[in-house]
């Protein structure tokens, strides 16, 4: 079938750059600033910042070694280990979470039911066992330097620990479970202000959000949540965010969409702020807001930044070559701090700033797999932010076009189209997508 005379030239140019090892790849907005990876496996297991200058991380060396807390006082340019913070009760600790609510107060928790605490910026430490030695303290959140909560795992139904004296003492509260619902475990926690607690509860078949406005004395439950929630985060007692990773069923074995949802009524209802597909398809991992408008959400190899309270999000790419999750802390007057579990600290070098508003370039398209062998049917997935007329075809290097989907109006949302490639011979081909505004081209290989 005939196509316009310019498209073969576009295909040829695209093929040249696609096959070239020196193509103009998009430059990352975040680059590796410090790499702690060495011959022994090094992991960064926790991150938190008190302000734009003061941050702490937990670094693990290999297997069987103690975790070490590192601190920066210049916004991440230099990180120095804090000595002598090991507990005499547990000389080889593993810290899963750390909190830095003020420039002097640091708290860490993890294995053996211990909380480690310093009130002088790490010069001296004290440890306190707050639960049984067999239990694990999973996550610590300090809403103020005085008030905070910790989630306790490896026990059902589990419970949370609370403090109102900067971590000197801790009280336990049973994990709330909605009446009539069985086997819901504690998945995530957050506390945006003193005595306001949120618990994300989940099982293989059910999800619920529990909210308390009075320090855990009474709870309200919500079960109408976005699909596959994994992380909750609240900027105030009523305004919050939920990260989800709903799976994409396709012939390549699936993957995850990036879904960010927002509530303004304490979790009673949620609206979608972002629902898109990214190349890595490994889902989202972290979220942090400097204030009600400026926030960062991390995934595998990318960061979403908003400066208008989630009305729009800009993708920032990361110099990233492994599958470890990214952790983020974002404070006022900063550009945020990123670390990955693989042992790297990232520095922001992009051109966008927290005062800019950039929507993601819609619509987004993703093809998986893009190296097609015999018997495999690739799936084209695409997200439409609003109704649009979409036509889809396969084009060869010689310009021959095969229509897969006639141009037709489609509703907003996620769409998927299996690509029947028939008996196409081995070689490089292109998916051409026409939405009556611009042509999009996705290369793929057929291997017989």
Lowest mean pLDDT among 103-112, 333-342, 415-424: 415-424
For 259-295, b/e burial (b = at least 16 CB within 10 A) is bbbbbeebbeebeebbbbbbeebbbbbbbbbbeebbb
pLDDT at site 412: 73
CA 358, 262, 315: angle at the middle one, nearest 5?
30
pLDDT at site 84: 67
Residue that is written with structure tokens 């390549």 in the block: 252
Measure Cα distances from 367 to 75, 81, 109, 267, 446 in Å.
Answer: 39, 44, 42, 34, 13
pLDDT at site 413: 72
260 alpha carbon, distance to own chain's centre: 10
- Cβ neighbours for 150, distance < 8 A, ≥ 6 positions apart: 97, 109, 115, 130, 137, 138, 139, 140, 141, 160, 161, 162, 170
3-state secondary structure of 87: strand
**Cα gap 85→82, rounded to integer Å:** 7
Q: How confident is the model at residue 24 (pLDDT cuts 50, 70, 90)?
A: very low
Q: Any idea where the domains of the chain sit in the sequence?
A: 30-348, 362-447
Lowest mean pLDDT among 49-53, 117-121, 372-376, 418-422: 372-376
pLDDT surpasses 50 at 2: no
SS3 content of the chain, % helix, strand, coil (to 5): 5, 45, 50
| Structure confidence by residue, pLDDT tens digits, 60-106 | 876 555 688 999 998 888 899 987 666 555 555 678 899 999 989 99
Q: Which helix (H) or strand (E) holds 159?
A: strand 159-163
Residue that is written with structure tokens 């992991």 in the block: 43
Q: How confident is the model at residue 4 (pLDDT cuts 50, 70, 90)?
A: very low
Mean pLDDT of 288-304: 91
Length of the chain: 448
pLDDT at site 17: 43
Q: What is 30-348's CATH superfamily?
A: YVTN repeat-like/Quinoprotein amine dehydrogenase (2.130.10.10)
pLDDT surpasses 70 at 422: yes
CATH code reported for the domain at 362-447: 2.60.40.1930
pLDDT at site 215: 92
pLDDT at site 281: 66
| Structure confidence by residue, pLDDT tens digits, 352-370 | 543 333 444 456 677 777 6
Measure Cα distances from 424 to 322, 419, 446 in Å.
Answer: 34, 12, 7
Mean pLDDT of 288-308: 92
Lowest mean pLDDT among 180-194, 287-301, 302-316: 180-194
pLDDT surpasses 70 at 302: yes
| Structure confidence by residue, pLDDT tens digits, 226-279 | 988 999 999 999 999 999 988 776 544 556 788 999 999 999 999 999 988 776
pLDDT at site 438: 59
pLDDT at site 104: 92
pLDDT surpasses 80 at 208: yes
Q: How confident is the model at residue 440 (pLDDT cuts 50, 70, 90)?
A: confident
Q: Which helix (H) or strand (E) holds 46?
A: strand 42-49
């Amino acid at each position: 079938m005939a196509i316009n005379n310019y498209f073969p030239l576009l295909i040829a140019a695209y093929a040249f750059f696609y096959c070239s090892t020196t193509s103009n790849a998009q430059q990352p907005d975040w680059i590796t600033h410090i790499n702690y990876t060495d011959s022994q496996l090094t992991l960064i297991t926790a991150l938190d910042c008190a302000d734009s200058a003061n941050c702490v991380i937990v670094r693990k060396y290999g297997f069987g070694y103690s975790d070490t807390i590192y601190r920066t006082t210049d916004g991440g340019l230099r990180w120095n280990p804090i000595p002598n913070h090991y507990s005499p009760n547990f000389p080889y600790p593993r810290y899963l979470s750390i909190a830095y609510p003020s420039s002097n107060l640091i708290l860490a928790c993890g294995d053996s039911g211990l909380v480690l605490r310093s009130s002088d910026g790490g010069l001296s430490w004290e440890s306190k066992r707050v639960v049984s030695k067999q239990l694990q303290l999973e996550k610590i959140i300090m809403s103020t330097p005085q008030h905070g909560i910790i989630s306790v795992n490896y026990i059902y139904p589990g419970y949370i620990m609370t403090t109102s004296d900067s971590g000197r003492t801790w009280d336990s509260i049973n994990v709330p479970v909605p009446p009539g619902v069985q086997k819901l475990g504690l998945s995530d926690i957050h506390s945006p202000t003193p005595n306001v607690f949120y618990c994300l509860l989940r099982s293989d078949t059910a999800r619920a959000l529990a909210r308390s406005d009075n320090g855990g004395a009474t709870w309200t439950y919500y079960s109408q949540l976005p699909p596959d929630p994994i992380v909750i985060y609240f900027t105030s007692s009523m305004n919050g965010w939920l990260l989800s990773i709903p799976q994409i069923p396709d012939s390549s074995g699936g993957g995850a969409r990036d879904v960010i949802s927002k509530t303004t009524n304490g979790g009673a209802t949620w609206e979608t702020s972002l629902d898109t597909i990214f190349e890595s398809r490994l889902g989202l991992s972290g979220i942090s807001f400097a204030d009600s408008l400026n926030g960062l959400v991390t995934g595998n190899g990318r960061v979403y930044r908003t400066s208008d309270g989630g009305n729009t999000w800009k993708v920032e790419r990361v110099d990233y070559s492994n599958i470890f999750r990214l952790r983020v802390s974002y404070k006022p007057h900063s550009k945020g701090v990123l670390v990955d579990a693989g042992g790297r600290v990232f520095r922001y070098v992009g051109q966008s700033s927290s005062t800019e508003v950039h929507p993601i370039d819609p619509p987004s398209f993703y093809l998986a797999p893009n190296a097609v062998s015999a018997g495999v049917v690739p799936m084209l997935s695409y997200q439409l932010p609003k109704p649009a007329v979409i036509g889809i075809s396969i084009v060869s290097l010689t310009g021959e076009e095969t229509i897969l989907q006639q141009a037709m109006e489609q509703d907003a949302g996620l769409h998927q189209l299996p690509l029947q490639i028939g008996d196409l011979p081995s070689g490089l081909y292109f998916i051409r997508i026409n939405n009556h505004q611009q042509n999009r081209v996705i290369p793929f290989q057929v291997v017989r």
